[in-house]
A and B are shown apart, each in its own frame.
Chain A
Amino acid sequence: MEQQAIYAIIIFLITYALIISEKIHRTIVAMLGAALMIAFGIVNQETALHHIDFNTLGLLTGMMIIVTVTAQTGLFKYIAIWAAKKAKGDPIRILVALGLITAFASAFLDNVTTVLLMVPVTFSITRQLRVSPMPYLLTQILTSNIGGTATLIGDPPNIMIGSAVKELTFAAFIFNLAPIIIVILAVTVGILAFWYRKQLKTTPELQQELMQMSAEDELSDPTLLKKCLFILALTIAGFFAHQALHIESATVALTGAFLLLLLTGEHYLEDALTRVEWTTIFFFVGLFVLVSGLVETGVIAKLAQEAITLTGGDLTATAMLILWMSAIASAFVDNIPFVATMIPMIQEMGKIGLTDLEPLWWSLALGACLGGNGTLIGASANVIVAGMAGKEGHHISFVKFLFIGFPLMILSIIISTVYVYLRYLM
């Protein structure tokens, strides 16, 4: 192996280890790792820039702006309270309803934003009913990761896959992933509702009090809400049509974001841009450059060759390997760097023999997104909810989450295995 390839592997592994250790912020580590790749001459700056997927970055930024403005309308609180009233204040039905709302919202917004909006209203409803918020929070963590798997924009791994593979459009993601996600969601929420059925009890008086709540009062700015809903609908329609229109998904998201800012006025601009998660955006930049070092030195091609040798070039075995390896890896390490490494590897597999890559892409998406449910550190949404819960005196321990999350994650991967096999490999 060439000297440059060895340097690239060393830089990549040290960076990866530091990201996993969480001793230093992952964005700082990724950016410094990327800088080392350039400083050591493994890739030059121009090549590094070519490897940065600006479609992924633009899509994330655009959606973050739209969500930031929409969050200010009180829409999420309204929907949650409306659903709680429709559930007649029954704690188990509310658990199911909030879980489903979280999943649906996560499919079209990013998971972290969804849980950031859902958790406060969950505290509010559970406090009113005098039930523990813990089952609701755990359910929302799991359903946010499940729901995010259903669409191209729901979870960063899907954004990255959709951006790297032009044939995998927004509609293709929904067509291929949404059916199985609905099944996994129903099974997961059903199990959780059954599991918590005895723990979640309230009184008829408290249920009655909840029924008196006014959801409409939560809508703080109806005019802004109308604008946000209009732009959201337009943006989602744009995602469905982006291939036919010959424009990238980032163009759709950024156009939607800045059209919204045009409608709302300049005073939202500063705040919206400030609230974009720049740490996440730069984390992606660093990772793209890091992985470019492995691609340019032929390490990824070599790994792909090894994987093909391991599975004997058999499509079914390769798809299953990717599905399960992605799920287990994503349960313990950040799925974003994992997917950033896997994408060029799968593309390389296409060059060296495998003709039908589609089952591999869906296996990667399902494994990487659903794997996040395995542990408390498996996905950003998990960490965010645990942090918010801890601050309010409800500690979600690693072991407690593992006890619930890991078996349900394994179950979801078993269901996915059957689905991938029956739909793409039989």
Chain B
Amino acid sequence: MIRYEYDRDGLDIQERENDQDKEFIIKVKNPDKYLPELHKVRTYFSKDTVHTDALFYTHQHNEYHVIVRADYYIGFLLGLFKHKILLSLEWEE
């Protein structure tokens, strides 16, 4: 298991499992701070060679639905961490 923390005033992140995928609903409450960074994560995953690693779907009001393939789960979290969308990442026993 992996545990992560984020700025709850600026973001709301919900995670759920769906078959072999991990799904995230990311609601950006502080667009100025987090939207450009989230776009960088999105650009990274849409320009790499794997098309289905992390699929981003934009909804209304700065809400993003992300479907992440299970084998790219850690890579996706590291991407969020690299761009300071996540503040910490920790392995949990």
Which chain A residues have a beta carbon within 8 Å of chain B's beta carbons?
119-120, 123-124, 127-128, 130, 209, 212-214, 217-218, 388, 391-392
Q: Which residues in B have their C-beta under 8 angstroms from that of A212?
A: 59-60
Q: Which residues in B have their C-beta under 8 angstroms from that of A218?
A: 58
Query: Is A127 in contact with B59, judged by CB distance below 8 angstroms?
Result: no
Query: Is B51 in contact with A120, judged by CB distance below 8 angstroms?
Result: yes
Query: Is A209 in contact with B65, judged by CB distance below 8 angstroms?
Result: yes
Q: Please tell me if B52 contacts chain A, counting CB pairs below 8 Å.
A: yes
| Mask of B34-46 contacts with A, CB within 8 angstroms, 1/0 | 0000000000001
Q: Please tell me if B55 contacts chain A, counting CB pairs below 8 Å.
A: yes
Interface positions of B from 51 to 75, Cβ below 8 Å from A:
51-52, 55, 57-60, 65, 67
**Docked complex Cα distance between A282 and B9 (Å):** 57
Query: Is A213 in contact with B57, judged by CB distance below 8 angstroms?
Result: yes
Q: Please tell me if B2 contacts chain A, counting CB pairs below 8 Å.
A: no
Query: 13 interchain pairs (CB within 8 A)?
Result: A124-B57, A127-B52, A130-B19, A209-B57, A209-B65, A212-B60, A213-B57, A214-B58, A217-B58, A218-B58, A391-B49, A391-B50, A392-B50
- Interface residues of B, CB < 8 Å — how many? 14
| Mask of B8-21 contacts with A, CB within 8 angstroms, 1/0 | 00000000000101
Give the residue of B46, B49, B55, B60 whose beta carbon is less than 8 angstroms from that of A128.
Answer: B55
Query: Is B57 in contact with A392, judged by CB distance below 8 angstroms?
Result: no
Query: Is A123 in contact with B51, judged by CB distance below 8 angstroms?
Result: yes
**Docked complex Cα distance between A367 and B51 (Å):** 33
Instruction: List 7 additional contacts besides A123-B55, A209-B57; criterion CB under 8 Å.
Output: A123-B51, A127-B55, A127-B67, A128-B65, A218-B58, A391-B50, A391-B51
**Docked complex Cα distance between A162 and B23 (Å):** 50
**Docked complex Cα distance between A388 and B60 (Å):** 31
Separation in Å of the A321 CB from the closest CB of chain B? 43
Separation in Å of the B43 CB from the closest CB of chain A? 8
- Nearest A residue to B46 by beta-carbon distance? A120
Separation in Å of the B64 CB from the closest CB of chain A? 9
Query: Is B50 in contact with A128, judged by CB distance below 8 angstroms?
Result: no
**Docked complex Cα distance between A123 and B21 (Å):** 14
Query: Is A124 in contact with B55, judged by CB distance below 8 angstroms?
Result: yes
Q: Which residues in B have their C-beta under 8 angstroms from that of A388?
A: 51
**Docked complex Cα distance between A120 and B55 (Å):** 10
Query: Is B52 in contact with A392, judged by CB distance below 8 angstroms?
Result: yes
Query: Is B57 in contact with A123, judged by CB distance below 8 angstroms?
Result: no
- Nearest B residue to A77 by beta-carbon distance? B46
Give the residue of A128, A214, A217, A392 whose beta carbon is less than 8 angstroms from that of B51.
Answer: A392
**Docked complex Cα distance between A213 and B64 (Å):** 9
**Docked complex Cα distance between A388 and B49 (Å):** 9
Query: Is B52 in contact with A214, judged by CB distance below 8 angstroms?
Result: no
**Docked complex Cα distance between A388 and B51 (Å):** 8
Q: Which residues in A have their C-beta under 8 angstroms from that of B59?
A: 212-214
